[in-house]
Amino acid sequence: MYFAMASHFLLLGILAIICSVVLASDHSPLQDFCVADPNSPVLVNGFVCKDSKLVQANDFFFSGLHLPGNTSNAVGSRVTPVTVAQIPGLNTLAISIARVDYAPWGINPPHTHPRASEILTVLQGSLEVGFVTSNPENRLITKVLQKGDVFVFPEGLVHFQRNVGYGNAVAIAALSSQNPGVITIANAVFGSKPDISTDLLTKAFQVDKNIIYQMQSRF
């Protein structure tokens, strides 16, 4: 009796671990491919598969990563994403890519990818990169990268890049999701719709309420 109960709980534990691993990443493909059909009225976690007989080479193709992004903006950077929205054939493959252009001293501001880890390769210039570990340690792990260097940002952690050179910089980021998502911290906190309560943010950041009003007006 005891052995049977122990075996039962062991099995439940194993199943829980398996489920947690499966749910922590994109769904694995169960056929050669599942090209996304964004026009389907059916709602699923991801995208419904397009009829395989209608699939063409362009469903797996994107052109444009050789083109520099326009960095004439407040942060001095531009991300050109290539996710399932740009390549329908990425559906269920758990990968995507992006080009990031940086003006001199431009930044890719602190942000997270809620559904993906990221591996960044510098193609041109010098980048200061870093991420912050979770509470309570909140340890900053940072490094200056040169052309050809590679750095990894673990899934869900706040991270950033800054061009520390005097010329333009370019990097390619590969991500472990067809749709990694991005949450830019400042935009989310100070630019939410509707606004997060000013009293709440004043207490959270331990600053004067007028500073919160000023920050919210910028986003």
Q: Which two tokens stand for residue 219?
A: 């986003």
Report how far residue 157's alpha carbon sits from residue 193's, in angstroms, rounded to the nearest whole number.
23
For the chain, strand residue ranges (E) read 77-82, 96-102, 107-112, 118-124, 127-132, 140-145, 150-153, 158-163, 169-175, 183-184
Please tell me whether 118 is known to bind a ligand.
Answer: yes
Query: If you compute the radius of gyration of the chain from its CA atoms, what whole number of angstroms results?
Result: 21
Cα–Cα separations (whole angstroms), residue 187 to 15, 155, 199: 39, 19, 18
CA distance 170 to 127: 9
Is 108 flagged in the annotation as binding? yes
Residues 6+ apart with CB under 8 A from 77: 69, 71, 100, 101, 102, 103, 106, 107, 108, 161, 163
- Crossing angle, helix 198-205 and helix 209-218, to 10 degrees? 110
CA angle 153–157–160, rounded 5-degree value? 60
Residue 113 known to bind ligand: yes
Helix/strand/coil for 96? strand
Binding residues: 108, 111, 113, 118, 159
Binding residues for oxalate: 108, 113, 118
Binding residues for Mn(2+): 111, 113, 118, 159
